[in-house]
Amino acid sequence: MKGEVKSQPLVGVRVLDFSTLLPGPLATLILAEAGAEVIKIERPGRGDEMRSYEPKFGTDSVNFAMLNRGKKSLAIDLKDVAAREALLPLLREADVVVEQFRPGVMDRLGLGYDALSAINPRVIYCAITGYGQTGPRAEVAAHDINYVAESGMLSLAAGEDGAPIVPPALIADIGGGTYPAVINILLALRSRDATGKGCKLDIAMGDNLFTFLYWAMGNGLAAGKWPKPGGDLVTGGSPRFFVYRTRDDKFIAAAPLEQKFWENFCDAIQLDKQYRDDAKDVTATKQAVAARLRAKTAAEWQAIFAGKDLCCCVVATMQEALEDPHFKARGLFNRKVAADGKTLIALPVPVADAFRSAKIEEGYPALGGHNNILK
């Protein structure tokens, strides 16, 4: 049966999550959705800083609710020796530890990899940082946009005035932190199955951004053609990969890269034949396409494009995307996070339905709501 839950692959895996905010909590959410028991270790009184954000859903922020669905929470002071000792039984049995402090912080608390592996050789210790555990920037404070800037990625996204545009997604946190953490934790679990030994994972958000820049690195290293904003195939330099304005000031995302799609696109918008060979004059072709698309509304173009192979669509708002019949039909928004008798759409995560629980609604943990585990 489609969507049948056969076996959650991480049932029986215990994860102690010392991380806060986004990269680590999203990584452990993905593990929890695949069946792992995730126990958040939080500060007494305040907990994860994200609890205090706005807007609220239940007693805490909606961000916290979405990222921590189905987890447990322990509120303990890691600077208190007695509290750390109370945590020892869990540390001895933990399969995975996730932390997001600067390098050396967990070591000073007596909770670093060397200390934990001495009492639990099977532990998989995942440290997520911006710049990694070593290197000249290891201790430097930074956020997502800093990692994106220093990897060279930000320089490729520029507005009309040439200034880089703030990305609309936290690419480093999720693409450079969360996903590599999950991938390597799963690889480490598989390795432990064979060797019986755990390991330490050094996940550096800045490092992992270069994967996204494969084409830019290739162009520069192999051909000496270093990319520039607005000047390359996927940075706005081609009429075949561009965003165009419509008559009603909405936008069309056009990506007819392959020749067959380009020909279909040109036919659909009735582009003059003199502009169809875009290699002759890229700027002229782009201007001609822009003029054609500016002549009709987004709805008119949507109707014209319907049923045609041309890789074009209307740019949707976030609200429109949540109402999109395609995503709804795939069940993307079926799962819910619950609080105080209310529910909202749970954060979709890239875990196949076959590996997830049949339980659709789940809450998020109250701060210290599972401290009885320590007794």
Instruction: Report angle CA 144, 148, 151 to the nearest 5 degrees.
Output: 140
Q: Alpha carbon of 23 to those of 96, 167, 172, 349: distances in Å?
A: 16, 17, 9, 13
Nearest to 78 by CA among 113, 117, 109, 118: 109
Q: Single out the catalytic residue among 143, 267, 277, 281.
A: 143
Q: Alpha carbon of 359 to those of 11, 15, 81, 185: distances in Å?
A: 14, 20, 38, 24
Q: Any idea what DSSP says for residue 176? A: I
Per-residue burial over 28-57, b if 16 or more Cβ lie within 10 Å, else e, is bbbbbbbbbbbbbbbbeeebbebbeeeebb
Q: Does the annotation mark 326 as catalytic? A: no
- Which residue type is seen at 53? Y
Q: Single out the catalytic residue among 17, 48, 144, 173.
A: 173
Nearest to 143 by CA among 165, 176, 112: 176
Query: Cis ω on the peptide bond leading into residue 121 (within 30° of 0)?
Result: no
- Which residue type is seen at 118? A
Q: Any idea what DSSP says for residue 372? A: G
How far is 246 from 298, CA to CA, in rounded Å?
A: 6
Residues facing 38 on adjacent strands: 15
Q: Alpha carbon of 215 to those of 9, 180, 262, 273: distances in Å?
A: 35, 20, 21, 31
- The region that residue 53 occupies, defined by phi over 0 for left and psi between -120 and 50 for alpha, beta otherwise, is beta
How far is 171 from 215, CA to CA, in rounded Å?
A: 17
Residues facing 136 on adjacent strands: none
Q: Does the annotation mark 17 as catalytic? A: no
* The total number of residues written for the chain in this structure: 375
Residues taking part in catalysis: 143, 173
